[in-house]
Structure 1
Amino acid sequence: MVKISRISTQQKNKSRYNIFLEDERGDSYGFSVDEDILVEFSLHKGMEMDGETVELLKQKDTIHKSYALAINYLSYRMRSKKEISDYLTKKDIDAEQVHLVMDRLSKEGLLDDQAFANAFVETRINTSSKGPQLVKKELLEKGISTQIADEALKKISYDWQYDKAEKLTRKKWSSTNNKSFQQQQLTVKQHLIQKGFSHDVIKDVLTEFVKETDDDSEWQALVHQGEKFVRKYEQKFVGYELKQKVKGGLYRKGFPIDLIERFLDECMEEQM
């Protein structure tokens, strides 16, 4: 048996207490506990304890410190179960204690993957232009199950997706106006896929966008590219060979053959 000889408040943390023990060898520091544990076990000077009780108090305090770490980590934003587990593991908390802390957090309503996923999706809706597939990928990386992620993603409506995808399309299209329609569409489509939008939404947006795009922009883009090819090849080729080189370059760029022939006829007569 050992007896508590004195209890002192820690200087740097007033909610923690140092417990000093007295045994046949004299008075010495035993362990530290949080205020909650001090109150729960009614620890006081002169209280006698056996070795089993001392070990229990130490274990309780270790779990409490792990719990406090988790609470602090949660204070910045909601976390998934995986995020909490990974964080505590990195802090060298053993697996059994991690489980106990997470179980307590869950019972207190502080750890709920569905609530986390719902809030995460809501934040993405309000603050980003990421499509559902990209948001789902983020959720899965945070340890959210496919079922929970799919349920949360129901918050992302078709109208929201279409609106965001249309804005991204207009922005991306304007930065590729010197490319052929075919290349522009492929570039924009790839961009929207990378942003996580569904193929149906991408198809609908591009179909509508292409309908309203000015046909003259394709011609202007072709002229721009055609003149670049002329400058590239005119030092080595002339006449028919030059036209074939330019024709091949424009074709590989995705321009329609009728516009290519028009360019060759109207803009390269002087090269023949």
Structure 2
Amino acid sequence: MEGEEADPERVARTILLDQLTGRARSRKELADKLASRDVPEEVATRLLDRFEEVGLVDDEAFARMWVDGRRSSKGLARRALGHELRRKGIDAPTVEAALDEVDPDDERETARVLVRRKLRSMQGLETAVATRRLVGMLARKGYGSGVAYAVVAEELRRDREGGDDDELLDGLDGAGEDFGL
């Protein structure tokens, strides 16, 4: 057995099945893994095509699952989700189709939940400081400045019930500049 070389197709099939055991992966992720293990390109392409035919590799299903999972676990917005999917090799039409399933109202509600959760640890901070930190947190999760500022203002107003609205609005003036918003 020592002089025998392993069958590249068998090796590639084992790699693919191992990779798909833990979670779904994009075709590009699997192709990159096969390339890193020196599987010949023609073998990799043939097996990946076959895995797509039988439904084990499906970039559309992967993209939908990724969007659902990352939205619920990390609270990411469409922009951040799109960036992650493109990094995983998902083509633009598939990314757009998966992101089209995200309801803007649901995205805004997710931002609201994130702000409420973070507000618990910000008691006693000045409005401007809390605003800057909360908008920054939402920006890092891919939320646009318009949504971020609106949600933060609403939640700070709600949290500080009856606080001076002028003070709240003053806290918003220029806070986005720190984040390039």
**Partner residue in 2 for 1:134:** 80
Report the CA distance between 1:117 and its aligned residue: 0.3
Are the aligned partners of 2:75 and 2:141 in contact in 1 as well (CA < 8 Å)? Answer: yes
Q: Does 2:30 align with 1:89?
A: no
Larger radius of gyration: 1
Report the CA distance between 1:90 and its aligned residue: 1.4
**Partner residue in 1 for 2:157:** 211
Q: Does 2:52 align with 1:106?
A: yes
Q: Does 2:117 align with 1:171?
A: yes
Report the CA distance between 1:80 and its aligned residue: 0.2
Report the CA distance between 1:163 and its aligned residue: 2.0
Cα deviations across residues 73-103 of structure 1 (Å, max 9, x unaligned)? 1122111011101111111112222222212
Normalising by structure 2, report the TM-score: 0.76
Cα pair distance change 1:146/1:199, threshold 3 Å: farther
Superposed CA RMSD in Å reads: 2.9
Cα deviations across residues 161-200 of structure 1 (Å, max 9, x unaligned)? 2222112212333433443322221221111010122334
Structure with bigger RCO (C-alpha 8 Å, 6+ apart): 2
Structure 2 runs not aligned, ≥5 long: 174-181
Q: Indicate the structure with greater helix content.
A: 2
**Residue type at the aligned position of 1:146:** A
How many residues are aligned here? 167
Q: List aligned pairs for 1:56-67, cutoff 5 A.
A: 61-67=7-13
Q: Work out the percentage of aligned pairs sharing the same amino acid.
A: 27
Q: List aligned pairs for 1:1-20, cutoff 5 A.
A: none
**Residue type at the aligned position of 1:180:** E
Are the aligned partners of 1:125 and 1:156 in contact in 2 as well (CA < 8 Å)? Answer: no
Superposed structure 1 runs of 4+ greater than 6 Å apart: none
Cα deviations across residues 133-183 of structure 1 (Å, max 9, x unaligned)? 222222111111232112101222223222221122123334334433222
Q: Does 2:57 align with 1:149?
A: no
**Residue type at the aligned position of 2:39:** I
Give the Cα–Cα distance (whole angstroms) in 1 for the partners of residues 125 and 44 of structure 2. 56
Normalising by structure 1, report the TM-score: 0.53
Q: List aligned pairs for 1:1-272, cutoff 5 A.
A: 61-212=7-158, 213-214=160-161, 215=163
Give the Cα–Cα distance (whole angstroms) in 2 for the partners of residues 140 and 102 of structure 1. 19
Are the aligned partners of 1:132 and 1:198 in contact in 2 as well (CA < 8 Å)? Answer: no
Report the CA distance between 1:30 and its aligned residue: 8.9
Cα pair distance change 1:63/1:180, threshold 3 Å: same
Are the aligned partners of 2:8 and 2:40 in contact in 1 as well (CA < 8 Å)? Answer: no
Give the Cα–Cα distance (whole angstroms) in 2 for the partners of residues 111 and 203 of structure 1. 40
Q: Indicate the structure with greater strand content.
A: 1
Q: Give the secondary structure class of the aligned counterpart of 1:64.
A: helix
Give the Cα–Cα distance (whole angstroms) in 1 for the partners of residues 3 and 93 of structure 2. 49
Are the aligned partners of 1:122 and 1:155 in contact in 2 as well (CA < 8 Å)? Answer: no
Give the Cα–Cα distance (whole angstroms) in 2 for the partners of residues 190 and 118 of structure 1. 27
Report the CA distance between 1:125 and its aligned residue: 3.3
Structure 1 runs not aligned, ≥5 long: 1-17, 19-28, 33-57, 220-253, 257-272
